[in-house]
Amino acid sequence: MHVGKLIFAQIMEFAPWHTFRRVVNKYRGDFNVRTFSCMDQFLCMAFAQLTYRESLRDVEACLRAQPSKLYHLGLRGHVSRNTLAHANELRDWRIYCEFAQALIRIARRLYAKDSLGIDLSETVYALDSTTIDLCLSLFPWARFRETKAAVKLHTLLDLRGGIPSFIHISDGRLHDVNVLDVLITEPGSFYVMDRGYLAFDRLYTLHQAGSFFVTRAKSNTQLQRLYSRPVDRATGLICDQIVELTVFYSLRDYPERLRRVRYRDSEGRPYVFLTNHMTLPAITICDLYRLRWQVELFFKWIKQHLRIKRFFGTSDNAVKTQVWIAVSVYVLIAIIRKQLQLPLSLHEMLQILSVTPFENVPLFQLLTETQHATYSDASRNQLNLF
């Protein structure tokens, strides 16, 4: 006799299913569907993400190994590799995109008061992209180079909590700077970007919208110093200057003044930052750019712990469906971590949940009473060959 809810079902209880059903009705996802609904598809794909399944056959075998527990997982349809593949090919990926956006809104509210590590109350975003290599013969729609295919994940990461607030999936040929054309900016927020986004016409659009940006200057960026401000060289600052562009086309694209901050880190590497914020302390501008590294860590994390480097389908729709469900799982775990006030990292939570989806214990008990082994330096040395 089944007693209590399974761990996987308890995880899914944190998702706003009323929103999911509304989005499914909006895109008619369950039209003429009898046995395998969009919710069944989402649960199967989310199960694959949580338990690190490598293929649809792997998902099918794992779920069919526990036939008496599928109903208690929330699955109502018959789990079949062909049925799941068919759903990934045909069900509109925008269903899972909008559902992920709903989860992101919940997570951002929960993490809104987290500290950035610097004295700044405004929202700070880091914008960057990562490339996922694909086989050109299997993914011809994602042509990147002559003999290579790829998709890009253009991500705007809210640095409070590490929650992605905007994700745009494109083929590998879309240049990073073009994403600024589809980005909806927030007045008063900071956008931290690397040199790949240095396009003065797009930056001026950000400036006109009342947003602030921090980016690095290229080596061939020609600027004229108007006046300088005093800096404390003991902090690594070299200069803090108000400048303007001198090249005709650049000045036409950005007719306003800019602020240039030169900085040298502890290893002697020089950096030149450009921003349109004129009053923030110069060292804070450097600290803001240092926070941009979190988006690189985010990309590394999701590639290591979510199934987005190996896709279950080859069509455009199947790839986007899998990516958005992966993002949904990531954000859902972040929501659980915050709502239950857990000290565990997301990595630790995923490791625990990956091996316990069919357990009956309460979720909070599982995540708080798990004993994490600690090893001394001597025991770690046992792994060294020399």
pLDDT means per 10 residues, the chain with 386 residues, are 78 95 94 90 94 90 89 85 93 95 93 85 92 88 87 92 89 90 92 94 94 94 94 92 94 95 92 94 93 90 80 92 93 94 89 91 87 42 39
Instruction: Please give the distance of CA 380 from its chain centroid, rounded to a whole number.
Output: 32
Q: How far apart are CA 46 and CA 322, in angstroms?
A: 9
User: Between β-strands 190-192 and 124-134, what pairing exists: parallel, antiparallel or unpaired?
Assistant: parallel
Q: How far apart are CA 60 and CA 42, in angstroms?
A: 14
Q: In this structure, are residues 124 and 190 in contact, taking their beta carbons and an 8 Å threshold?
A: yes
Confidence (pLDDT) at 146: 82
SS3 (DSSP) at 186: coil
Confidence (pLDDT) at 172: 86
Cβ-Cβ contacts under 8 Å for 67 (sequence gap 6 or more):
none
Residue 45 burial by Cβ neighbours in a 10 Å radius (0-12, 13-18, 19+): buried
Confidence (pLDDT) at 373: 43
Residues 80-103 as b or e (16 or more Cβ within 10 Å = b): bbebbbebbeebbbbbbbbbbbbb
Q: How far apart are CA 365 and CA 338, in angstroms?
A: 15
Q: In this structure, are residues 126 and 289 in contact, taking their beta carbons and an 8 Å threshold?
A: no
| Domain ranges, ordered by start, for the chain | 7-96+312-360, 194-291
Confidence (pLDDT) at 381: 45
Q: How far apart are CA 328 and CA 309, in angstroms?
A: 16
The domain 194-291 is placed in CATH, from the list 3.40.1350, 1.25.40, 3.30.1370, 2.60.120, at 3.30.1370
Structural tokens at position 103: 């989860």
Give start and end residues of each alpha helix (H) in the chain: 7-12, 17-26, 38-50, 56-64, 70-73, 81-90, 94-110, 200-208, 248-253, 282-291, 293-305, 316-339, 346-354, 363-369, 377-380
Cβ-Cβ contacts under 8 Å for 87 (sequence gap 6 or more):
36, 38, 41
Q: In this structure, are residues 132 and 148 in contact, taking their beta carbons and an 8 Å threshold?
A: no
Please give the backbone phi and psi of residue 34, each rounded to the nearest 5 degrees, phi first: -110, -40
